[in-house]
């Protein structure tokens, strides 16, 4: 049996056990999944948290994003999928999470990620640990995937099969409607 984490998601021995991988995941890419898998190899309990952004309608709705993530992470026993609205620090506090995991692809990510990490730390002491993205995925983003797929480009190997199929369905309809 695992020793339960205390209220900060940290064991009494001081070892961090629970983390959150937050994101928009519209849609999840293999780059995201690489980060989640690596987090799952280090932490006991990994919560992948999908941001509910009422101001921004994505390509996939919240239920679809969650369904896709559940399927893509089903082989990882210590990973669960959740959603959150509002501040990440509040979600973390409510779920007794003390560490945020974010992937860093390149220097272009760094400035924004650093300020988010510093703000989160300033707000509640929430820590952020950065994972250096696998170079195989360092150019990969959800928006690029959507753009390529929207013009009928091949995104195999960049996203899970299920995402590939859903993208094809979504954009094939759009292209045939606009002809």
What are the helix (H) ranges across 27-160?
30-40, 62-72, 88-94, 107-124, 142-150
Query: Is 75 labeled as catalytic in the residue annotation?
Result: no
Query: Is 32 labeled as catalytic in the residue annotation?
Result: yes
Q: Which of residues 19-78 bind ligand PNS (CB under 6 A)?
A: 22-24, 51
Q: Does 160 bind ligand PNS (CB under 6 A)?
A: no
Q: Does 101 bind ligand PNS (CB under 6 A)?
A: no
Q: What value, to the nearest 5°, has the Cα angle with vertex 118 and ends 90 and 52?
A: 40
Q: How far is the CB of 27 from ligand PNS (least distance, A)?
A: 11
Piece in contact with ligand PNS (CB under 6 A), picked from 18-26, 35-43, 150-158, 160-168: 18-26
Q: Does 144 bind ligand PNS (CB under 6 A)?
A: no
Q: Please select the residue that binds ligand PNS; options are 10, 82, 87, 131, rule is CB under 6 A.
A: 87
Distance CA 130, CA 35 (A): 9
**Which CB sits closer to ligand PNS, 108 or 177?**
108
Q: Does 83 bind ligand PNS (CB under 6 A)?
A: no
Distance CA 74, CA 165 (A): 18
Give 122: exposed, middle or buried? Use CB within 10 Å, 0-12, 13-18, 19+.
exposed
Q: Does 128 bind ligand PNS (CB under 6 A)?
A: no
State how far Cα 123 lies from the chain centre: 21
Residue with tokens 């928009």: 24
**Which CB sits closer to ligand PNS, 44 or 109?**
109
H-helix or E-strand spanning residue 162: helix 161-178
Active site (catalytic) residues: 32, 56, 105, 142
Residues contributing to the site for ligand PNS (CB under 6 A): 22-24, 51, 87-88, 116, 119-120
């Amino acid at each position: 049996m695992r020793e339960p984490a205390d209220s900060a998601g940290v064991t009494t021995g001081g070892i961090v056990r629970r983390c959150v991988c937050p994101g928009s995941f519209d849609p999840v890419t293999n780059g995201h999944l690489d980060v989640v898998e690596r987090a799952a190899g280090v932490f006991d309990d990994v919560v992948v948290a999908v941001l509910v952004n009422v101001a921004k309608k994505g390509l996939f709705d919240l239920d679809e994003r969650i369904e896709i993530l559940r399927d893509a992470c089903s082989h990882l026993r210590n990973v669960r999928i959740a959603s959150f609205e509002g501040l990440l620090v509040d979600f973390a506090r409510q779920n007794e999470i003390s560490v945020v995991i974010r992937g860093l692809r390149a220097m272009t990510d760094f400035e924004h990620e650093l300020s988010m990490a510093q703000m989160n730390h300033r707000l509640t002491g929430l820590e952020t640990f950065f994972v250096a993205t696998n170079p195989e995925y360092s150019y990969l983003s959800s928006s690029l995937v959507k753009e390529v797929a929207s013009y009928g480009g091949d995104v195999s190997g960049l996203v899970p099969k299920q995402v590939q199929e859903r993208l094809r369905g979504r954009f094939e309809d759009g292209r045939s409607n606009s002809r």
